Structure 1
């Protein structure tokens, strides 16, 4: 093998291997130095930092899947939605806005509209916990690696993490002057542009700046105005300054801003809604036949007169200080983040709603939403870690986190009088505006009173209400994790965490209609709210296990860990104090995991078997108590998730690397808590039924091949195949059965690219193919027996990318 081939192959080997099992949270400089040395070594000598300290890959008793920046670039995966396909244990629930989207790990996650609940899967960016997972669902434009740690992680990370952690680490600046410029162009007028410059300002100070811009017209046709939707217009920048005055001190400053204006994400009519059957956007579907939903997965049209749109503004600043004194390293991370999100939502999903002088629901109703929200969070973490030099090693920390959120949400909708609600509104109006004989006369003949006011309640009578909501979270914790070498080949694993949570909320909803009339999804003035509440709770959770080196480069481990996610409230637009004012209790879990790891020269294999029992599972539960079925965040019951996970890396030849993973997961309901409001006997047990967004089987296999030529360029081939099993998108209903519309079909995905590299990869041009099989799929069933989210990658499309670097 010539020298150039050897160096390239070793670099590819390291990138792919570290992508399977790498974590970095602190110790960034040390890890990068080790990684540089590992370019000359093979799999069994790879060093990782998945437990916030430098360790051999075969010493990490933890199930973690990670994608490095070069893997992300090679896959041309631009956001978390794209990347979740490559991590078999992860599923992504796409909402109509980033704030309503969510991740699940091993079938467990929290999907909620509430602003007073936290996710089961914690999202961390550069050591900073995100208050809402949607903050991290933006573009990936400066990423060093993304790590998915499965199972409870409270003894290692500052914030609650009952189901897992998605840890995103961005790139550090270099001392050498480097830079890159990359562009991507795709069909349907989509482009992305990124530029980076990095280098030393002095011997002790280095800095980097990355800027990004992307735009896409969209892939959905709105037949109402002949425009494309479900596109985006985004830009962002990240500046990093690294100060290293000595080998034992580093200070890192990160500043970031990001803005997105997306006409996304319109719900598609995958099953016939009956709202506008003559529209050219009506689906090609027979509806639900013999209990099976005939979903039109080729649907790419809508007929909407109100554009669904999301506007996001993020800003962030953090400071991380790492100081080594003697045998210990001390770390401080201080961070402030803000997020402004404005949601515009088409809620009637048709262009003919609200025009008829007929009462609903005989005529199509109008429903349009506008909901701005602001988040502001501050966090501080201190920790200390030993240097792994003796039989006893540990990491311990103190964490504080505060988040304030304010949201107002206005709904304009057709007046609703299908059950005589107009009489109720007029009675309320008369009692508040009349007295004496005038009041008596009005109440004696409400129809005449309505005529005298010129008041009706038809589809074209638009009423509205606005909800003003706020929440505050205060969380502090003390955590620690350690190991003790019982013998040279056996280690004891242990950890402990104490958590203190406080959650408070306010909710005030005001009917804006002069007469206080009810609308479709608009509560009347008689149901205006002015509520507040708070809850505090503490928790002590732990981790214990054992790790045994069974042979050279082979290890087995077994762990038991406890997870905890704090309490909350179901605070949303149509908040009902009687039902939603009740505290949602904490979600706790008990997780067992057995693992095997092998890291040889040309083969890396990781195997994990797990089972987790969750009590007080926080989920959207069906409530049909008032005649209209809605989902309400509650402690839905107890669930169990169990399964097997495999990660594989094989250096098949000097130029061919294969890597992949598979997860077989059974996430099922053990015990179901019927909603308090549901009448006795009308709610059945759901034991044994699936938890939403938990496909039984999911796997991926990728290959990268380097072909060297004698013509002044090399050729890089990359391909990946992903399979995702069918999965439900909702909990089963009160009768104990699933809505057939909520079953999302299985799908296959094949992506590929070929790149020509010139001058030792100083310049590369790549041809990109997405979804070569053209296998369409839906990521989410949104409700109403017809609404679905079908992503951009559900179509086959092509692109070209250019990258230059120095």
Structure 2
């Protein structure tokens, strides 16, 4: 029998004499769980003739969650017609959103179009509790809910906000930064969701739901073009192959050159090109059995340009007297409206993703058995002009490849939704493999390394609900998980030094709550839940023996209280929802100063202290008349770092500004961030929309007018409160107008995004380290940095049911 191996902190030429299965007893648990879940899925399918008879489908059973052959309808509306229910799957069963004891916001496909949302980062416009911060590399982009997100970047660091598409978790957040075409709805679940969705949902979950096959043959083609040279189109075809088999295929193409001019190459940058396709095949041989095969593919690229908005007079690149601003930024007028760069090396990313999933739901004559397996392979290559200048003699480049491969399997047993006692019981397995090779140089800040991070996770979870005769519902849930992580790091530049290690942990999250119904239209709830974000190793440039010996960064945990009301008035024409929350995070993971085993100190990803976020969220929708709807949301956020004594100072921060000077033989320069607001945590965020559609007299058209506005108060994009990365508050207004003919299936609309031409930045970078500490601030321009207009046209064909 192979003896267990202790890999932690080990330096070897290559792993020898150790098998992965022998590193921990947890490895055996993972292996058993994996094969058990696969076997259960296979058994369920093979047992179909016995299980899938003519048993009536239970109301609100998971069979209704699975994509089934359904008639073609318009997208689910967040402002539904009078009396209509908005159905969500926030608790892994189909429910009216007004009956879900969670802080959840639903954004329909029509709302996404009206707000000009085409990719993931545009969700900022429609979700008041959500902030998406892009980066030069999508792998380094971050998503925050209620001010909590991933503020440090290493290939092994988990996000705090999980993303899933059609019940399948996304392997890496960068995978989600693609198109949002042919989406039925997006559910934004705020606060810890770890009990039902696992440890990567410690701050929330974004659940993307796409439509399924239609009951009759349906086709739709759409195209659009803008005044700033973006164009694209998509096509959908859907329908039955037989009485029991249906399909849906979507293809999308989007091309945008960008809104930044590269004066050196004469080309546009800060753009994107995406081709994607989603494909579903749904087999429903009876009302008690449904299986869905989904195959998705994305191929895309981005280009990057970071214009200077502030540069100190006399700034010198790399402190070289020959590299003045006229040399490193020739022809550029630096200022807040600058949209030009001078880069002699193409900066951007190329990525592709291939994902498959199989979902099977079987009605067992009461409860339903749901099995979901998935595989995802993502690859991204990135390049960056690290000196960001046209100087050939200082052509410092950065490039590399990131890969992720994920396998997941989930099995759950769900009771009928109308029973007084309801349960969701399940088991989950995930195996994730990340790798990153990285090169930078050759003139300064040289780096060349290859790292790999592997995670195996096996969980069991359950949630129970019981309705008392007093219209009170008791809620309780728990998740017990085991995770094993393993890493290897090869520092090629430093003599191929090789480090490898592993660790494992058990974790538990839980939830309890009460829900009280007052008639059919008023629901109050209160919940207490915990969240968990897994331990990790900081695999980034500078990883060394001291970091290896320090072991993994400890898990980040959260405790959350929520109380809320879900109300509807005037025959459900008016919906008013409000939630108050208070969440505390312990062992918050971020960049900080750490004392290492040999007594030295270093800046690295570490557990830096505690953080609290609390506030109030509200959503409202009103169907004023048949043709006019209003909707809006608001979030007030009081977010504070409670304990962070050893934070990095921002560049040139003085003692008077709170930077404690370095002590010889002791701590380096640092600041105490206790009492400071964390990054990406605006105090206020509001959005509102108007939707008006009216028949144009005797003409066979409907006139359409839609308008939306989003306000976000000031934020700082840096954890160290750098004043150079401060973004003031701003308001963005979008309008859409046009005509459509529902009977003949066509629509023609014009739109104007950023109507008021309000310039703002989606991220800011303090680059003064490259300029001998003379300030040099670079901006990330959002797609709607400047006002632009466009036209969108679509035509739908469908056959009627006879």
Deviations 1:548-571 (A, max 9, x none): 113440011100000001100110
Match among 655, 666, 689 for residue 702 of structure 1 = 689
Q: Tell me the distance in 2 between the aligned counterparts of 1:759 and 1:554.
A: 35
Q: CA deviation at 1:27?
A: 1.6
**Which structure 1 residue ranges, 4+ long, deviate > 6 Å from structure 2?**
22-26, 30-41, 622-625, 675-678
Gaps of 5+ in 1: 1-21, 286-295, 356-364, 417-463, 512-524, 733-737
Q: CA deviation at 1:134?
A: 0.9
Deviations 1:314-366 (A, max 9, x none): 001100001111210110000000000001011111112x52xxxxxxxxx54
Q: Tell me the distance in 1 between the aligned counterparts of 2:331 and 2:723.
A: 20
Do residues 663 (structure 1) and 692 (structure 2) align? no
- CA distance 1:30–1:310, change in 2 (3 Å): closer
Match among 189, 195, 210 for residue 170 of structure 1 = 210
Q: CA deviation at 1:745?
A: 1.6
Q: Tell me the distance in 2 between the aligned counterparts of 1:662 and 1:23.
A: 33
- CA distance 1:390–1:479, change in 2 (3 Å): same
CA contact (8 A) 1:614 1:640 kept: yes
- Residue matched to 2:646: 674
Match among 90, 103, 110 for residue 143 of structure 2 = 103
Q: CA deviation at 1:486?
A: 2.3
Larger displacement relative to structure 2 (74-83 or 641-650): 74-83
Match among 470, 479, 503 for residue 497 of structure 1 = 479
Q: Tell me the distance in 2 between the aligned counterparts of 1:740 and 1:282.
A: 27
- CA distance 1:72–1:771, change in 2 (3 Å): same
- Residue matched to 1:685: 672
Do residues 803 (structure 1) and 790 (structure 2) align? no
Match among 767, 780, 787 for residue 789 of structure 1 = 780
Larger displacement relative to structure 2 (772-781 or 156-165): 156-165
Q: Tell me the distance in 2 between the aligned counterparts of 1:139 and 1:210.
A: 12
CA contact (8 A) 1:242 1:253 kept: yes
CA contact (8 A) 1:256 1:317 kept: yes
CA contact (8 A) 2:67 2:282 kept: no
- Residue matched to 1:341: 380
SS of residue matched to 1:579 = helix
- Residue matched to 2:10: none
Q: CA deviation at 1:173?
A: 1.0
- Residue matched to 1:637: 609
RMSD across aligned positions (CA): 2.8
CA contact (8 A) 1:44 1:599 kept: no
Match among 446, 471, 492 for residue 453 of structure 2 = 471
Q: 1:248-263 residue pairs with structure 2 within 5 A?
A: 248-263=288-303
Q: Give the TM-score normalised by structure 1.
A: 0.82
Q: CA deviation at 1:484?
A: 1.1
CA contact (8 A) 1:281 1:301 kept: no
Q: CA deviation at 1:140?
A: 1.2
Q: Tell me the distance in 2 between the aligned counterparts of 1:621 and 1:171.
A: 44
- CA distance 1:29–1:316, change in 2 (3 Å): closer
CA contact (8 A) 1:23 1:147 kept: no
CA contact (8 A) 1:222 1:304 kept: yes
Gaps of 5+ in 2: 1-59, 318-323, 649-661, 769-776, 798-802
Q: Tell me the distance in 1 between the aligned counterparts of 2:722 and 2:762.
A: 16
Match among 521, 529, 543 for residue 497 of structure 2 = 529
Q: Tell me the distance in 2 between the aligned counterparts of 1:475 and 1:501.
A: 4
Larger displacement relative to structure 2 (42-51 or 570-579): 42-51
Q: CA deviation at 1:408?
A: 1.0
SS of residue matched to 2:793 = strand
Q: 1:587-666 residue pairs with structure 2 within 5 A?
A: 587-600=556-569, 601-621=572-592, 632-666=604-638
Match among 344, 357, 377 for residue 318 of structure 1 = 357
Q: CA deviation at 1:80?
A: 1.3
- Residue matched to 2:8: none
Q: Tell me the distance in 1 between the aligned counterparts of 2:299 and 2:716.
A: 33
Q: CA deviation at 1:631?
A: 6.2
Match among 97, 101, 118 for residue 61 of structure 1 = 101
CA contact (8 A) 1:23 1:49 kept: no
Q: Tell me the distance in 2 between the aligned counterparts of 1:119 and 1:313.
A: 20
Match among 117, 127, 131 for residue 157 of structure 2 = 117
CA contact (8 A) 1:38 1:45 kept: no
CA contact (8 A) 1:213 1:235 kept: yes
Q: Tell me the distance in 1 between the aligned counterparts of 2:114 and 2:531.
A: 35
CA contact (8 A) 2:255 2:273 kept: yes
Deviations 1:100-122 (A, max 9, x none): 11100000011333011111101
Do residues 719 (structure 1) and 707 (structure 2) align? yes
Q: Tell me the distance in 2 between the aligned counterparts of 1:604 and 1:33.
A: 27
Q: Tell me the distance in 2 between the aligned counterparts of 1:746 and 1:343.
A: 32
- Residue matched to 2:749: 766
SS of residue matched to 2:98 = helix
Deviations 1:20-44 (A, max 9, x none): xx99997245897899999996247
SS of residue matched to 2:201 = coil
Deviations 1:552-600 (A, max 9, x none): 4001110000000110011013323313653110010000001011023
- Residue matched to 2:287: 247
- CA distance 1:303–1:768, change in 2 (3 Å): same
Deviations 1:109-149 (A, max 9, x none): 11333011111101111111122111111111232211110
Q: Tell me the distance in 2 between the aligned counterparts of 1:163 and 1:107.
A: 9
SS of residue matched to 1:270 = strand
Q: Tell me the distance in 2 between the aligned counterparts of 1:630 and 1:308.
A: 30
- CA distance 1:465–1:632, change in 2 (3 Å): closer
CA contact (8 A) 2:69 2:215 kept: no
CA contact (8 A) 1:43 1:604 kept: no
Do residues 380 (structure 1) and 409 (structure 2) align? yes
Larger displacement relative to structure 2 (269-278 or 540-549): 269-278
- CA distance 1:314–1:23, change in 2 (3 Å): farther
- CA distance 1:34–1:371, change in 2 (3 Å): closer
Q: Tell me the distance in 1 between the aligned counterparts of 2:594 and 2:388.
A: 23
- CA distance 1:136–1:471, change in 2 (3 Å): same
- CA distance 1:759–1:638, change in 2 (3 Å): closer
- Residue matched to 1:407: 436
Q: 1:449-488 residue pairs with structure 2 within 5 A?
A: 465-488=447-470
Larger displacement relative to structure 2 (534-543 or 759-768): 759-768
Match among 739, 742, 746 for residue 756 of structure 1 = 739
Q: Tell me the distance in 2 between the aligned counterparts of 1:568 and 1:343.
A: 23
Larger displacement relative to structure 2 (266-275 or 650-659): 266-275
Deviations 1:664-686 (A, max 9, x none): 11111001152799834843422
Do residues 584 (structure 1) and 567 (structure 2) align? no
Match among 525, 540, 563 for residue 557 of structure 1 = 525
CA contact (8 A) 1:606 1:647 kept: yes
Deviations 1:216-236 (A, max 9, x none): 121100111221111222211
Q: CA deviation at 1:394?
A: 1.0
Q: CA deviation at 1:413?
A: 2.8
CA contact (8 A) 2:135 2:141 kept: yes
- CA distance 1:23–1:614, change in 2 (3 Å): farther
- Residue matched to 2:311: 272
